[in-house]
């Protein structure tokens, strides 16, 4: 196995990335666009680029991902993609009739320097955009950022394109989630609904990439946030952005353009972060926390206390996306585990490392950026071995090489099912994640136990 040749001695690398702990911006932009009802993602670049972006999402969700492409050839690569995009817009509205086309750029169109504002304006002038339809775009070159920043850019473009301030404030709150699973978006909606609070959430990929198999093909699934609600979000009384890296740009736009006071919170992963989210909702809406949520919290705490002897002092290493990593670090710290390493290939603000160390007690090794790859992550683990690894599917090779249990979290997960249906956010999601961790620990304990300690009751 090639990983056996990963050296334990770490040397700084200025320009080389080995097995990056991220994927490219258009993947995240495409995912965000799918969270808007009757919106068709469009990749402005080559057919191969779009095929990869669709493939990454299709493999993760085991669902067909609908998207279109400008299909650059050699001519477009030299002379620009304007004619390709104009023809694409005309064909898409004629054949597929979406309400919105969400264009994301690629490396090729960005290097060429295509002016998307001018091209879309030309399409409108030539009557290629039907009345009541919209073409929007986000700049998402793959040579910088990651799928999380691509998601953030598309979310900001959605706010820019649709959110309106009419001057008439409503009782609704707006929720802007970071790049999380559709199951987590459902869980966040469950919490807000249980508290009796009127809300608008976008993007919302629940019932889009985790819908049922009912024998009917739908080009545009029932889920996704309707355009009308996104427009009304500009009149919300306030907004909560859940996860700084994935939502900061959109949160600032909603605040400055529409005068919607927006507060940025951590993703509600674990007891502490979920309590903070619920408390903010309670104070903002002036409501009480319902018994149903208190029951969910109590069940989570009960299992956490009952099985704390299996968790306390366990050493863990985390790899993934910044917003989820912050949540996992808080979750693990709440459970008495020790976080050794946190590695993300996604650019994150300088305060990210400080937040992680504040949460975990100050001595966690945090690495951010292009050289924070899985090769480096493997080296860290060789020098300070954890009891558990948290990360995506690509971490399975490290887990196998070092014989360490892997808790699959984040994106992408290609080799397991359930992540799109079972959340890790909220109290119910926290309980689900806790059970996954305990199962991994107890399975390993059973595997390694001598005959005389192979117990029926743990």
Tens of pLDDT, residue by residue over 200-251, are 999 999 999 998 998 898 899 999 999 999 999 999 999 999 999 999 999 9
Q: What is the pLDDT of residue 301?
A: 97
How does residue 15 score in pLDDT terms, banded at 50, 70 and 90? confident
| Strand, coil or helix: 318 | strand
Q: What is the mean pLDDT of the chain?
A: 94
Q: Can you give the pTM of this predicted structure?
A: 0.96
Tens of pLDDT, residue by residue over 182-198, are 999 999 999 999 999 99
Q: What is the pLDDT of residue 2?
A: 58
Is the confidence at residue 350, as pLDDT, over 70? yes
Alpha helices (runs of H) in 259-345, residue ranges in sequence order: 271-285, 291-306, 308-311, 322-334
Is the confidence at residue 349, as pLDDT, over 90? no
Is the confidence at residue 458, as pLDDT, over 70? no
Residue 113's φ and ψ, nearest 5 degrees, are 95, 30
Q: Tell me what the mean pLDDT of segment 42-66 comes to.
A: 94
Is the confidence at residue 295, as pLDDT, over 60? yes
Is the confidence at residue 167, as pLDDT, over 60? yes
Is the confidence at residue 342, as pLDDT, over 90? yes
Share of the chain above pLDDT 90, in %: 87
Q: What is the pLDDT of residue 77?
A: 78
Is the confidence at residue 68, as pLDDT, over 80? yes
Is the confidence at residue 1, as pLDDT, over 70? no
- In this structure, which long-range contacts are made by residues 301-310, counting pairs with CB atoms below 8 Å and at least 24 apart in sequence? 301/271, 303/431, 303/434, 303/435, 303/438, 304/271, 304/334, 304/335, 304/434, 307/434, 307/438, 308/335, 308/336, 310/438, 310/441, 310/442, 310/445, 310/458
Tens of pLDDT, residue by residue over 376-429, are 999 999 999 999 999 999 999 999 999 999 999 999 999 999 999 999 999 999
Give yes or no: 366 in active site: no
Strand order in the sheet with 100-105: 68-69, 39-44, 100-105, 134-138
Note the residue count of the chain: 458
Q: What is the pLDDT of residue 73?
A: 87
Domains, the chain: 25-161 (3.40.50.1980), 173-209+219-292 (3.40.50.1980), 306-452 (3.40.50.1980)
Q: Tell me what the mean pLDDT of segment 358-375 comes to.
A: 90
Q: Tell me what the mean pLDDT of segment 342-348 comes to.
A: 94
Q: Tell me what the mean pLDDT of segment 308-333 comes to.
A: 97
Q: 189 and 181 in contact (C-beta within 8 Å)?
A: no
Catalytic residue among 18, 111, 417, 435: 111
Give yes or no: 305 in active site: no
Catalytic residue among 27, 36, 103, 107: 107
Is the confidence at residue 32, as pLDDT, over 70? yes
Is the confidence at residue 132, as pLDDT, over 80? yes
């Amino acid at each position: 196995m090639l990983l056996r040749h990963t050296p334990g001695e770490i040397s700084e690398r200025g320009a080389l990335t080995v097995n990056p702990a991220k994927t490219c911006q258009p993947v995240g932009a495409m995912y965000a666009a799918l969270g808007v009802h009757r919106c068709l993602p469009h990749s402005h670049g080559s057919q191969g680029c779009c095929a990869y972006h669709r493939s990454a999402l299709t493999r993760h969700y085991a669902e067909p991902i609908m998207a279109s492409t400008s299909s650059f050839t050699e001519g477009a690569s030299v002379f620009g993609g304007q004619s390709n995009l104009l023809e694409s817009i005309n064909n898409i509205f004629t054949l597929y009739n979406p309400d919105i086309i969400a264009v994301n750029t690629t490396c090729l169109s960005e290097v060429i320097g295509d002016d998307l504002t001018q091209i879309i304006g030309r399409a409108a002038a030539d009557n290629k955009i039907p009345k009541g339809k919209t073409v929007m775009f986000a700049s998402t070159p793959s040579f910088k950022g990651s799928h999380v920043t691509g998601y953030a850019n598309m979310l900001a473009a959605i706010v820019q394109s649709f959110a309106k301030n009419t001057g008439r404030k409503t009782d609704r709150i707006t929720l802007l989630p970071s790049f999380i699973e559709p199951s987590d978006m459902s869980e966040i909606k469950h919490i807000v609904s249980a508290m009796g609070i009127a809300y608008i959430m976008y993007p919302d990929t629940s019932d889009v990439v985790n819908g049922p198999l009912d024998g009917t093909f739908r080009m545009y699934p029932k889920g996704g946030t309707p355009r009308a609600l996104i427009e009304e979000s500009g009149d919300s009384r306030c907004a909560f952005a859940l996860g700084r890296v994935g939502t900061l740009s959109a949160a600032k736009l909603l605040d400055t353009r529409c005068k919607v006071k927006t507060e940025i919170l951590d993703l509600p992963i674990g007891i502490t972060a979920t309590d903070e989210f619920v408390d903010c909702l309670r104070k903002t809406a002036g409501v009480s926390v319902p018994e149903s949520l208190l029951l969910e919290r109590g069940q989570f705490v009960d299992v956490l206390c009952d099985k704390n002897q299996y968790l306390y002092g366990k050493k863990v290493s985390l790899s993934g996306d910044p917003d989820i990593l912050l949540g996992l670090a808080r979750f693990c710290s709440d459970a008495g585990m020790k976080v050794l390493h946190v590695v993300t290939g996604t650019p994150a603000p300088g305060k990210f490392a400080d937040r992680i160390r504040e949460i975990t007690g100050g001595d966690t090794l945090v690495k951010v950026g292009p050289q924070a790859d899985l090769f480096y992550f493997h080296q860290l683990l060789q020098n300070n071995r954890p009891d558990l690894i948290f990360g995506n599917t690509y971490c399975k090779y490290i887990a196998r090489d070092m014989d360490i249990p892997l808790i699959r979290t984040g994106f992408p997960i290609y080799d397991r099912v359930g992540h799109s249906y079972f959340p890790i956010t909220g109290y119910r999601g926290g309980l689900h994640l806790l059970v996954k961790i305990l199962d991994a620990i107890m399975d390993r304990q059973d595997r390694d136990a001598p005959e005389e300690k192979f117990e029926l009751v743990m």
